[in-house]
Amino acid sequence: MTTDANPYRFGDLLALARQSWIHRMAAELESRGFAEYRISDAVTLRRLRRGPASVGELGVPLGVTRQAARKIVRGLEERGYASTQADADDARKLMVILTSAGRAYADAIIEVIARLNWAVAARVTPDQLAATDAVLRASIEDEGVARAAARIRPPPSGRVWPQRSADE
């Protein structure tokens, strides 16, 4: 029988929080008419909302190979959210472009993420939110992930997040 030297299991709690977040994302998106949410959709659709990208470029923020990124893109195509075409300058590059349904889905993802962020911020104090942000950043050791996290602004200090209704 193994006993933990530290009974606090941060990693387990973090994984459960992520699982809850994903379930909320899926439920919110389904209520807006976007069923079959996949974990890779948020990163991929938000990137494509800024403009077309090659399959290889999409794999970088996802941390996956070009082959795995191609599978993700294929899933987007099958659901009608993206199309592909050869790059005009380099026929070896496969460019991914959002369809109008894909743009609507990307917009919904952006709105749902904002709502979930507000919901969390409204349930804690500004100091708790800042401390949570600091702990999450401290838990990141991978350089590439740390660079991505550095691009995310920390919560504003001292800001009191207003309560928002479920309809906002």
Question: Which pair of tokens denotes residue 57?
Answer: 């470029």
Question: Which percentage of the chain shows pLDDT scores above 90?
Answer: 73
Q: Where are the domains of the chain?
A: 12-123
Tens-place pLDDT, residues 51-93:
999 999 999 888 899 999 999 999 999 999 999 999 888 888 8
Which residue spans within 57-143 are E strands per DSSP? 82-86, 94-98
Question: Which pair of tokens denotes residue 39?
Answer: 């974990």
Kindly give the interhelix angle for 39-49 and 55-62, rounded to the nearest 10 degrees: 130
Tens-place pLDDT, residues 136-157:
999 999 898 889 899 999 988 7
Q: Which helix (H) or strand (E) holds 53?
A: strand 53-54
Residue 132 predicted with pLDDT over 70: yes
Per-residue confidence (pLDDT) for residue 5, from 0 to 100: 75
Per-residue confidence (pLDDT) for residue 163, from 0 to 100: 52
Per-residue confidence (pLDDT) for residue 166, from 0 to 100: 41
Question: Which pair of tokens denotes residue 27?
Answer: 């439920």
Strands 94-98 and 82-86: antiparallel
Fold topology of 12-123 = Arc Repressor Mutant, subunit A (1.10.10)
The pTM of the full predicted model, rounded to 2 decimals, is 0.84
